[in-house]
């Protein structure tokens, strides 16, 4: 295997592909050869390229990820991705490197790739942090409860504006601060977050489903306002 890992993404959901593309772009040792929307596209890429690793969605129409995995005869390794925890056993039966449950956080993906590279006797991967005008790190601080509280960006699920303060919803907690939602938006990576309403920003990697009017994250339904609808749908579809 070369110093860079040639990988393809196979998923019928555009949002899921974009999340993985964004995460993988931050790891210099990863080379995304192709991003495929179905198994047939993946077959063509596999037949014409030397691929080390596949990020493969299990539950796809026509030819499932499990069927594609069974048909792969070379040394290509597989990371299964799916929103359904019950598929994990089937994935590990096919000797997958790992099983990634959607929504996939950068930390979870990085952990899985580190494990894979360790098995291949590579050095642990580095992280490329893409700089924006107001952000160079994976975290920032806000004032809450009379102290400065660190917010880890990959843990942010969504942000809501409530009158003269905002609530930042994280994986296991929420933080209330008197920041404006516009100021917080400027500190977030544009490729990973989406303004869907004057009062809401969502993390693309946590979106489970959406309609033309709402976005579902966990048990929460977040409204898409008319003024943001075209931009949101263009990004997600």
Residues in contact with 236: Cβ distance below 8 Å, sequence separation at least 6, in sequence order: 14, 15, 194, 204, 207, 210
Query: Whole-angstrom Cα distance, residue 115 to residue 101?
Result: 16
| Residues 7 and 25: beta-carbon distance below 8 Å | no
Query: Whole-angstrom Cα distance, residue 134 to residue 179?
Result: 15
Q: State whether CATH 2.40.50.1020 applies to domain 139-236.
A: yes
The pair of three-digit structure tokens given for residue 24, joined into one six-digit string: 């993988």
Query: Where are the chain's structural domains?
Result: 5-119, 139-236
Q: State whether CATH 3.40.50.10470 applies to domain 5-119.
A: no
For residue 60, whether the previous peptide bond is cis, meaning omega lies within 30 degrees of 0, is: no
The pair of three-digit structure tokens given for residue 189, joined into one six-digit string: 């990576």
| Residues 196 and 215: beta-carbon distance below 8 Å | yes
pTM: 0.55
Among 131, 133, 150, 132, smallest CA distance to 141 is for 150
What tens-digit pLDDT sequence spans the chain (237 residues)? 446 889 999 999 999 999 999 889 888 888 999 999 999 999 999 989 999 999 999 888 888 888 888 888 778 888 989 887 665 545 445 667 788 888 888 888 888 888 787 766 544 455 554 443 333 457 888 888 888 888 888 889 999 999 789 999 998 899 999 888 988 898 888 888 999 999 999 998 889 899 999 999 988 999 999 999 999 988 887
């Amino acid at each position: 295997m070369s110093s860079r890992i040639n990988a393809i993404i196979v998923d019928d959901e555009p949002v899921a592909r974009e999340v993985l593309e964004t995460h993988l772009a931050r790891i210099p040792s990863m080379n995304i050869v192709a991003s495929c929307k179905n198994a047939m596209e993946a077959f063509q890429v596999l037949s014409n390229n030397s691929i080390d690793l596949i990020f493969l969605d299990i539950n796809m129409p026509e030819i499932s990820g499990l069927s594609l995995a069974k048909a792969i005869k070379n040394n290509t390794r597989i990371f299964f991705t799916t929103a359904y925890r019950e598929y994990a056993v089937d994935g590990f039966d096919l000797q997958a490197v790992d099983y990634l449950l959607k929504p996939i956080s950068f930390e979870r993906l990085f952990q899985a790739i580190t494990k894979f590279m360790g098995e291949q006797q590579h050095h642990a991967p580095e992280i490329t942090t893409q700089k924006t005008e107001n952000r160079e790190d994976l975290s920032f601080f806000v004032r809450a409860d009379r102290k400065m509280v660190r917010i880890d960006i990959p843990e942010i699920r969504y942000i809501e504006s409530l009158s003269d303060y905002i609530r930042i919803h994280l994986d296991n907690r929420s933080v209330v601060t008197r920041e404006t939602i516009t100021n917080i938006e400027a500190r977030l990576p544009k490729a990973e977050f989406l303004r869907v309403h004057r009062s809401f920003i969502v993390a693309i990697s946590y979106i489970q489903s959406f309609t033309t009017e709402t976005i579902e994250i966990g048990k929460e339904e977040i409204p898409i306002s008319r003024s943001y609808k075209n931009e949101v749908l263009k990004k997600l579809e």
